[in-house]
A and B are shown apart, each in its own frame.
Chain A
């Protein structure tokens, strides 16, 4: 397989990247960097890292190729992509460059590493408290999903970046069994797209056949992620097997709406010519002061109540004091 990095690929145009994943007649993974400068979403880096894990598991050789060293390639080094792929480059970088509001590609294998990751790395974003809450929440929940459901021997790869405009870009990827196999443990699944649709539907979890989940899984984690992207009017992407789901942005001038089913959302489906082994999730959210995390949750609760909740009869309510 050959994976060529495009000059630009973010969630809005993630197809620029997936189109450049091609079968080249060998089992090896050739990672080819473009001429000139490039800029990509952290999800792309995590996907490439996870592809490297998968290729290594197949006994294949993993290699990276470029013509001229430039600042974009140095950026990949600073993001530790080559390190997680076990591809030592010898590229010198300034490890303490203060301008970086990013979390490098990091491998997380268990809950202890996840807790440490959130504590150690989120401060690297130099985020304000209300920003840090969103970062912690999204990173923790996405990685926890991988550790619980992906059966990945290599754990999860996670990375994040904050743009100058205050947008948080998060990517998490693994080389595990994929959503179809995970969801198929408890539910009939007909395709990778069907598996993604079920994974996002509140009340469905791969850990139990029962709607509403069990005592440890509510089947609401990805629904919450989707709600956060929806309310902040940004994109979310999930790729697994031959399907890629892209949640499109909500139109301006209208109240953002959260739905229980992906079929009701503004979604674009992409058929991947080269199936992605494992699962990859990317999400963008606004983290400026206008959308504090607590406000985001209050909005989700309101919209959930209006649009998702099936039983409108209020029964018992929690007591706060």
Chain B
């Protein structure tokens, strides 16, 4: 799944993130398959975009995180994915 096709090189549009989640990520994971999120060509993403992309998936099924391959992430995108993956598993007081 090429994220850039939906979100462009600046991935900030949460509606695009939701389409990727609903059309690609969830169907693959629900069927027990691996999902690939390829960030090639995505120069920058926002926390809001990454949240809309993966937070609810991780919150409901944290074990599915191991079935998602995040590919071709630059440093910024990787940091955002790590932060969202972390707080999506947090217990808020």
Contacts and interface: CB of A to CB of B under 8 A. Distances in A.
A95 to B, nearest CB: 26
Contacts, number: 131
A117 B68 CA distance: 33
Interface residues of A, number: 41
A212 B59 contact: yes
A300 interface: yes
A213 interface: yes
Interface string A177-218: 000000000000000000000000011000000011111111
Interface in B31-47: 43-44, 46-47
Interface in B16-71: 18, 21, 43-44, 46-48, 51-52, 55-56, 58-59, 62-63, 65-66, 68-71
| Residue from the set A111, A305, A310, A319 with the largest chain B CB neighbour count within 10 Å | A319
Contact of A311 (B48, B65, B89): B89
A316 B58 contact: yes
Interface residues of B, number: 47
B52 A133 contact: no
A120 to B, nearest CB: 12
A137 interface: yes
A298 B73 CA distance: 14
Contact of B52 (A203, A216, A294, A301): A216
Interface of B is mostly: helix
A126 to B, nearest CB: 18
A15 to B, nearest CB: 31
A217 to B, nearest CB: 7
B10 A301 contact: no
Contacts of A214: 56
Contact of B51 (A213, A301, A309, A319): A213
A293 B44 CA distance: 10
Interface string A112-135: 000100110000000000000100
A301 B59 contact: no
A263 to B, nearest CB: 14
Contacts of B93: 211, 310
Given A214-B56, A316-B58, A297 B83 contact: yes
Interface of A: 111, 115, 118-119, 133, 136-137, 140-141, 144, 202-203, 211-218, 220-221, 224, 293-294, 297-298, 300-301, 304-305, 309-311, 315-321
A140 B7 CA distance: 14
A320 B89 CA distance: 18
23 contacts: A118-B12, A133-B43, A203-B92, A212-B87, A212-B88, A212-B90, A213-B51, A214-B56, A218-B48, A218-B51, A293-B44, A301-B79, A315-B62, A316-B62, A316-B85, A316-B89, A318-B65, A318-B68, A318-B82, A319-B68, A319-B70, A321-B69, A321-B70
A321 B86 contact: no
A202 B62 contact: no
A311 B62 CA distance: 14
A212 B92 contact: yes
B13 A304 contact: no
A317 B71 contact: no
B90 A311 contact: yes
Nearest to A320: B70
A293 B76 contact: yes
